[in-house]
């Protein structure tokens, strides 16, 4: 998407809807680059997450394992991985307990329903009440915007604004050069 697409009548929300059916990393990044920045204080509250399928090996993995979204209680009180248990309760997963190298290597295995079901049941064991990330303003691809920095993983999630209740995120991970895209929709202020 060219930067002038929004001025040509194709708004960001409409463009995102077309990409949700599946896209490429290049198209997703073009949309991301065309979006305005998000101030860190705009991220406060709970957000429901959804992966944006671009052919990344993590596409669909989080959702199958019960990913619910993220929670931002303040700039130093961020819960980056909120999962839903089989009984429907929410648990904040401690990212330090996730071996990201193995997750990436065995991502296709994690998509299998039986494996994903086991991981969903393991959520409470991996849970924490402590925040596991921070929210800061960071320059990414030339634009200062809200970014979530994991405390104990080499991961930064950077956000751009679709509208007042929706952001597009890109996970920048040291162990994986390919960007992973996701959408967050506000569920509470």
Residues 106-142 have pLDDT tens digits of 888 888 888 878 877 777 778 789 999 999 999 999 9
Say yes or no to pLDDT of 3 above 50: no
Residue 9 banded pLDDT, cuts 50, 70, 90: very low
Residues 59-82 have pLDDT tens digits of 999 998 899 999 999 999 999 999
Per-residue 3-state assignment (H helix, E strand, C coil) for 3-37? CCCCCCCCCHHHHHHHHCCCCCHHHHHHHHHHCCE
Please give the angle made by the CA atoms of 158, 160 and 165, to the nearest 5 degrees: 120
Name the token pair of 153. Answer: 């993983």
User: What is the homologous superfamily of the domain 12-188 according to CATH?
Assistant: GXWXG domain (2.40.128.580)
Say yes or no to pLDDT of 2 above 60: no
Please choose, from the candidates 165, 169, 167, the residue with its C-alpha nearest in 3D space to the C-alpha of residue 150. 169
- Whether the model clears a pTM of 0.85, i.e. scores above it, the answer is yes
């Amino acid at each position: 998407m060219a930067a002038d697409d929004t001025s040509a009548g194709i708004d960001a929300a409409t463009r995102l809807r077309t990409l949700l059916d599946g896209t490429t990393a290049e198209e997703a990044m073009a949309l991301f680059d065309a979006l305005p920045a998000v101030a860190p204080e705009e991220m406060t509250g709970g957000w429901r997450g959804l992966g944006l399928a671009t052919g990344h090996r993590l596409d669909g993995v989080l959702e199958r394992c019960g990913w619910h979204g993220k929670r931002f209680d303040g700039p130093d009180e961020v819960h980056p991985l909120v999962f839903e248990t089989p009984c429907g309760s929410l648990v904040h997963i401690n990212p330090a307990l996730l071996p990201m190298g193995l997750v990436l290597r065995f991502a296709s295995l994690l998509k299998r329903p039986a494996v994903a079901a086991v991981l969903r049941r393991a959520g409470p064991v991996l849970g924490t009440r402590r925040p596991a990330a921070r929210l800061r303003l960071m320059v990414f691809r030339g634009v200062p915007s809200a970014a979530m920095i994991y405390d104990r993983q080499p991961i930064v999630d950077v956000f751009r604004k679709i509208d007042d209740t929706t952001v597009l995120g890109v996970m920048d991970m040291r162990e994986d050069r390919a960007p992973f895209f996701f959408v967050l929709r506000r569920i509470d202020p």
